[in-house]
Structures are given as structure tokens and as C-alpha cells.
């Protein structure tokens, strides 16, 4: 369910500017996407876990805000990021 240290380091290395770049928007989106995938599987199994569902929706909203920020800054970076993460493009 939680993102392991190793997986987190892989994502930071892949989407960050260097190994210590955990705060940039693309890295945050990648980490949120990983958490969202895990929580989505949990909610599919436990349909009545409404607390987790609320947390999942809050993470999706946070990721959506970060994606809209990236899209305003650089559209090409945004398109490359959603393509590599497998996210649908629904940001206006």
C-alpha cells in the first residue's frame, strides 16, 4: 500500500533533476500517482472503507492541482509526464 523507500528513490531518480530532488512538481505527481494506485486497489477490495476513499479523493485533487500548475508552466513537459505515468488528460 505505501510506497517503499526503493520505489520512492526510483521515482525521484526518474522524474527529478537529481537524486535529492524530491520537491519538484513532476516528482510529487509521480509519488502521488504511486500512492493513488495502491489506494485504488485497496478501495476496490474494501468497498465500505469510506475514510480511505476520502483520503484517495484528496490525493487525486492534490495531484490535479500540481498537474494544472505543470501545464501552465510547460505544456510539453506536462504531456510527457502524463504519457509516462499513464494518466488521462482532463485538465482544462
Q: What DSSP string describes 19-57?
A: TT--SSHHHHHHHHHHHHHHHHHHHHH-TT-HHHHHHHH
Domains of the chain plus CATH, in order, are: 3-83 (1.10.287.10)
User: pLDDT per residue over 40-90, tens digit each?
Assistant: 999 999 999 999 999 999 999 999 999 999 999 999 999 999 999 999 988
Q: What is the pLDDT of residues 1-18, one digit of tens each?
A: 688 999 999 999 999 999
What's the pLDDT at 85? Answer: 96
Complete DSSP assignment for 58-73: HHHHHHHHHHHHHHHH
Rounded average pLDDT over 11-35: 95
pLDDT at residue 91 tops 90: no
What local confidence, expressed as pLDDT, does residue 1 receive?
Answer: 64
Amino acid at each position: 500500500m505505501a510506497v517503499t523507500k526503493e520505489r520512492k528513490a526510483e521515482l525521484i531518480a526518474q522524474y527529478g533533476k537529481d537524486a535529492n530532488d524530491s520537491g519538484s512538481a513532476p516528482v510529487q505527481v509521480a509519488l502521488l500517482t504511486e500512492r493513488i494506485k495502491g489506494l485504488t486497489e485497496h478501495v476496490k477490495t474494501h468497498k465500505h472503507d469510506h475514510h480511505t476513499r476520502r483520503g484517495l479523493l484528496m490525493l487525486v485533487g492534490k495531484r490535479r492541482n500540481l498537474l494544472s500548475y505543470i501545464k501552465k508552466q510547460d505544456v510539453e513537459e506536462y504531456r510527457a509526464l502524463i504519457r509516462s505515468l499513464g494518466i488521462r488528460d482532463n485538465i482544462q
